[in-house]
Amino acid sequence: MLLIRCPYCGLRPEVEFSYGGEAHISRPEDPNALNDEEWGDFLFMRANQKGAFRERWVHTHGCRRWFNVLRDTSSHEIHATYEVGAPKPDVPGAAKPVRKPRARKSAKP
């Protein structure tokens, strides 16, 4: 079981949390301006990253707040957790920043 550090409550067991998928995906500001493919990209296409990955979690059974986790998807190591809206922490020891998912024409990161 993972131990996840909730930014509000501290270190807690994984069962208290629920997963929310990839983080930092903004809803397009003008959905009507998008064609079907772009809208499909926004809805369904995710990076499926191997390695350091920014994702959303919610402390369902604790404080019920959403926050972001920087987790390595191959080793499960959690590099950092941070509040929604807080600056993104860097990947420790990484020479280059987290690889961007495939470019979305509409959504700004």
Partner 1 sequence: MADITTDAKALRVSPLEVIGHRMVATSSPRVTINEIPFETQIGLRGDASKAAFNRAVKSALGVAPPKEACTAVEAGDRRILWLGPDEWLAVAPDDTGADLLGKLEGPVAKAGGAAIDLTANRTVIVVSGPDARGVLEKGCLHDLHPRAFPTGRVVGTLLAKSQIFLEKTGDKPETFRLYVRASFARHLAEWLIDAAAEFAA
The one among 5, 24, 46, 65 contacting partner 1 by CB under 8 A = 65
Query: What's the burial of 41, exposed, middle or buried (CB within 10 Å: 0-12/13-18/19+)?
Result: buried
Structure-block tokens of residue 33: 């301006």
* Of residues 8 and 74, the one with the C-beta less far from partner 1: 8
Which of 52, 51, 69 lies closest to 6 in space, CA to CA? 69
The one among 2, 39, 45, 62 contacting partner 1 by CB under 8 A = 62
Is 8 among the residues that bind partner 1 (CB under 8 A)? yes
* Contacts with partner 1, residue ranges (CB under 8 A): 8-10, 12-13, 15-16, 59, 61-65
